[in-house]
Structure 1
Amino acid sequence: MKQSKVIFTDALCLFVICLVVTFAVAGTRSVFKERIAEQEWAQTQSVMSQLIKADEFEEVDVSGDNQAFKALDASGETLGYLFVTQAYGYGSDVSVMSAISNGEIVGIDILDASNETPGLGQNVTRKDFIDQFAGLTGTPEVVKNAPTENQVEAVTGATRSSNAVAQSVEEALVLFEQVAASEN
C-alpha cells in the first residue's frame, strides 16, 4: 500500500512539473510572438533580396498553402515575383523559393530539405544544383546527365529530392502565370 502511495505521489509531482513547464513555454512563445514574427520576416526578406534586388516586397494572394511576393523598386515598378512552394521529396516536403521575372526563373533557394536523406537528398541545397534553374523559361525536367534546354541534372542518388525541387519550381511558374494574368 505504501509503495502505491509513493508511486502516485511521484506521478502527481511529475505531472505538475510537466504542466508548469508547458505553460512556461507557451507563455514565453506568446510574449515573444511579435518578435519571432519580425525575425522570420527579416529572414524571408533576406532570402528574397538575394534572389531579386528590390527596395520593397509586397505579399500577393495565391491559391493553396503557397506564398507569393511582388518585388518592387523604389518607384513602385514590379521587378518580379517570388513564390514559396513545396513538393514531396524522399522524406518530406521540400520547400523552395523561386524568383521569376518576365516568365523566366531568375533563381531559386531551397528553404527546407532537412528531412531528406543526409548526404544524398539534402544535396539539393548545393549551389551547383540550384544554379541550374536560373534562366529556365518552361517546366523544368530532371535528367540523369547532359541537360539541355529547360532540363536540370539530378543530384546523384537523389532523384526524388531533385524532382521535388523541379515540381516546386513548376508550381511557381504556374502561380506566376496566374498572378501575371490577374494583374493585367
Structure 2
Amino acid sequence: MKQSNRRAVISGTVCLMVICFVVTLTVAGTRFIFKDKIAAQEWQNTEQSMNRILKADSYENLSTDDEEKAYAALDRNGEILGYIFITEAYGYGSMISVMSGISAGEVMGIEILDCTNETPGLGQNVAEVSFKNQFSGLTSNPEVTKTEKKTADQVEAVTGATKSSVAVAEAVGIALSRYQEHVDSVVK
C-alpha cells in the first residue's frame, strides 16, 4: 500500500471518529439540557395512562427501586382509591410491559405500555381494547384460553398470539400478587 493511500485512510478514519464524537456529544448535551422537560413529558404520559385505568386526583409513587413501579391513586382528600402496578412478562419476542389498576382486590383496567417487539399484526394485538377489556373485574390470576371463556377468571387469547396473551395475563397476575402483598403489609 502506498504511503499516500495509508495517509488517506488514516485521515478519513480520524475525521469519521471526530464527527461521531461531536454528534454523540451534541445528542447527550441536548438530552442533559432538556432532561427536566423530558421527565415532565414522560410523567404526563404515565399519568394519562393511569387515569384511563383508575381515575384519581393524584398519584403517589410507592416504588422503592427502579425495577418495581407502584403508585397509590388518591382522591383530593388523600384517600387511597386503589393502586397501580407496572409489571412485565416475556411474550413471544420480548418483554411486555403492563400497567394494571387495582382497587379493592379487583382489576379496574390495564394498559399495555410496551409490546413493540412482538409480532406486528399478531402479538401486538394484545394492545387492542377488546383484549384489554377482558381483564376488568378480575379478582384472581387470569387464565388464558384459546376458546371462548367459561369462567370469570379466564381471558380469551388473541388469535395467533397465545404467548403474548399469556405474558399479559402473567403481568396482571404479578400485579394482583403485589397488590395483595402491599395490602397485607399495610394491615399488619
Shorter-chain TM range is over 0.9
**Residue identity in the other structure for 2:136:** A
Deviation at 1:62, TM superposition (A): 5.8
Conserved? CA contact 1:62–1:175, under 8 Å: no
Conserved? CA contact 1:142–1:153, under 8 Å: yes
The residue aligned with 1:50 is 52
The residue aligned with 2:129 is 127
Deviation at 1:125, TM superposition (A): 0.4
How far, CA to CA, are the matches of 1:47 and 1:156 in structure 2?
A: 25
**Residue identity in the other structure for 2:118:** E
Q: How many percent of aligned residue pairs carry the same amino acid?
A: 52
**Residue identity in the other structure for 2:125:** N
Deviation at 1:75, TM superposition (A): 1.1
The residue aligned with 2:174 is 171
Q: Unaligned stretches of 5+ in structure 2?
A: none
How far, CA to CA, are the matches of 1:53 and 1:110 in structure 2?
A: 17
From 132, 149, 154, the counterpart of 1:151 = 154
The residue aligned with 1:16 is 18
**Residue identity in the other structure for 1:54:** A
Deviation at 1:63, TM superposition (A): 7.2
Q: Unaligned stretches of 5+ in structure 1?
A: none
Matches within 5 A, 1:84-95: 84-95=86-97
Deviation at 1:180, TM superposition (A): 1.0
Deviation at 1:178, TM superposition (A): 1.1
The residue aligned with 1:107 is 109
Distance 1:13-1:29 versus aligned 2 partners, 3 A rule: same
Deviation at 1:64, TM superposition (A): 7.6
The residue aligned with 1:160 is 163
SS at match of 1:118: coil
Runs of 4+ residues deviating >2 angstroms: 61-64
How far, CA to CA, are the matches of 1:180 and 1:64 in structure 2?
A: 21
Please report the TM-score for the alignment, with normalisation by the length of structure 2.
0.95
Conserved? CA contact 1:52–1:99, under 8 Å: yes
Q: Which string of whole-angstrom CA distances, capped at 9 and with x for unpartnered residues, describes residues 125-161 of structure 1?
A: 0110000000010010000012121000000010000
- Give the length in aligned residue pairs: 184
